[in-house]
Amino acid sequence: MATGSCDVAVVGGGVIGSAIAWRCAQRGLAVCLVDPDDGRGAWRTAAGMLAPVTELHYTETPLLSLNLASLARYRDFAAEAQDLGGLPTGYRECGTVTVAWDGADLAALQDLQAFATGLGLRSRMLTGRELRALEPGLAAGLPGGLLAEDDHQVDPRLLHAALRAAAANAGVERIRSTARPALSGDRVRGLVTADGTAVSAPVVVIAAGAWSAHLDLPETVASPRVRPVKGQTLRLRLPVASAPEHVVRGTVKGSPIYLVPRADGEIVVGASSEEAGFDQRPRAGAVYELLRDAQSVFPELGEAVFAEVSTGLRPGSPDNAPLIGPAGVEGLVYACGHYRNGVLLTPVTADAVAELVATGTVPELIAPFLPARFDEAVATG
Ligand SMILES: Cc1cc2nc3c(=O)[nH]c(=O)nc-3n(C[C@H](O)[C@H](O)[C@H](O)COP(=O)(O)OP(=O)(O)OC[C@H]3O[C@@H](n4cnc5c(N)ncnc54)[C@H](O)[C@@H]3O)c2cc1C
């Protein structure tokens, strides 16, 4: 494939764009993937929880089916990326424990557990004693918690590297640049990179995360309804024997906190949630609050080595669900707005977009997540 043309051009090489490029190439399409590789993607900061149950929100049940469909694919997806990319992904079936901080928290967890059970999800309540038996490093006196055996994790940095390698091995061409789609009349004709190089392609997929609404699209095209939601995570290190075995989540006096233990003793602590535009500078107060709350749930963290603070931009959407599908202009496809579940949703998004591009048919699974749902909301008031 010459750089000047391809079958599919993907704008944005985070986890979503890299996986889409890989899946499209596996279908025999000539693919080019454009990303400046400047390290600003949210995948660098993300904890990598694969957590349909413990991320369940009462108002987000449509998203649950997509989350579950993606989780069901994860084991095979990660194994295939590892095999074909030749790099590990850090996928771990470790389960998740959500701890209650006080009696009110415990009651809220019981409600959530009843809701989850009604939706057919597996989880069970734990007494304080069962909690400590499962995770002896937890703070004494926590009144109980919830075990979600099927909420697992992957290391997004490792996954991203494996996906990029698998994509390269499948023939995906990479261009290190920013890019914007180019249109001719009412259809896409390719993209233009930062230095003005044109790449012609009948299909362009926008997978630029939080930046997807800032690609200089002509006024006639509805930009995806995506905004940046800043989040900070910390990376700490404990001896493996002292670290938790499960992902540990909780709410300390109203502030959510999580600890995601990797196999090598790294623990990702997160996360803040801030409406701060594209500001990716770390905020001292967020670091303080995360350390304070994490240590009150898991006291041994006070002895951990502080390795890193990282700040990323979740691609938020008006209903917290992704925008996947045709963008209203022939050949233009959106795959963005994955908000706090983009790592989880990577397999299902990549499969759905590859099918759409290869066959022209919108897979049923993504029908509730078409970008046009927001246009309709505006039109009908
Ligand atoms: C603190 C935090 C914790 C999170 N935890 C989890 C979690 O536990 N589980 C989970 O499932 N998700 C989590 N997420 C969400 C997840 O990281 C995102 O939903 C996911 O990374 C979105 O993937 P993406 O590829 O769309 O965007 P990104 O990962 O942000 O990648 C976008 C890419 O587009 C590129 N780009 C931007 N503009 C252009 C342009 N003009 N041209 C070309 N390329 C461009 C960028 O360089 C970047 O590489 C978390 C996010 C944050 C911030």
Q: Kindly report the protein residue whose alpha carbon is nearest to atom 46 of ligand 1.
A: 41
Q: Is the CB of 13 under 6 A from ligand 1?
A: yes
Q: Which atom of ligand 1 is nearest to the CA of 38?
A: 47
pLDDT of residue 378: 47
Per residue in 232-243, pLDDT (tens digit) is 999 999 999 999
For 300, which DSSP code?
A: G
310 CA closest ligand 1 atom index: 1
Residue bearing the CA closest to ligand 1, atom 15: 340
Kindly give the distance from the C-alpha atom of residue 88 to the centroid of ligand 1, in angstroms, as a whole number: 20
* Residue entry with tokens 């995770």: 135
Using an 8 Å Cβ cutoff, are 20 and 28 in contact? Answer: no
Q: Cα separations (Å) of 122 from 61, 62, 115, 146?
A: 16, 18, 11, 11
- Predicted confidence (pLDDT) per residue in 92-103, tens digit: 999 999 999 999
Residue 2: the pLDDT is 42
Tell me what pLDDT residue 380 has. 43
CA separation for the pair 172, 32 (Å, rounded): 6
Q: Is the CB of 324 under 6 A from ligand 1?
A: no
Residue whose Cα lies nearest atom 51 of ligand 1: it is 46
Domain 93-151+227-315: assigned CATH number: 3.30.9.10
Q: Where in the chain is the domain with CATH 3.50.50.60?
A: 8-44+158-226+318-379
The secondary element (H helix, E strand) that includes residue 113 is helix 103-118
Comparing C-alpha atoms, which of 154, 49, 144, 47 is closest to residue 98?
A: 144
Position 381 scores a pLDDT of: 39
Strand ranges of the sheet holding 31-34, from the earlier edge strand across to the other edge: 173-175, 31-34, 8-11, 203-206, 332-336, 323-326
Q: Which residues of the chain have pLDDT under 70?
A: 1-3, 376-381
Residue 376 has a pLDDT of 56
Decide: 205 and 335 in contact? Cβ < 8 Å: yes
Nearest C-alpha to atom 18 of ligand 1 is from which residue?
A: 342
Mutate which of 43, 178, 262, 281 for ligand 1? The one with the most ligand atoms within 8 Å of its CB, which is 43
Query: φ and ψ at 184, to 5 degrees?
Result: -130, 110
Q: Report the pLDDT value the prediction gives residue 226, as an integer from 0 to 100.
A: 97
Tokens of 283: 């905020």
**The Cα angle at residue 365 between residues 121 and 188, in degrees rounded to 5:** 145
pLDDT of residue 379: 45
Looking at the chain, which residues constitute the CATH 3.30.9.10 domain(s)?
Answer: 93-151+227-315
Give the model's pLDDT for residue 346: 98
Q: Is the CB of 56 under 6 A from ligand 1?
A: no
**What is the rounded distance in angstroms from the CA atom of residue 12 to the CA atom of residue 48?**
19
CATH entry 2.60.40.10 includes domain 8-44+158-226+318-379:
no
Position 314, amino acid: R
Instruction: Tell me if 212 CB under 6 Å of ligand 1.
Output: no
User: Is the C-beta atom of 208 inside 6 A of ligand 1?
Assistant: yes
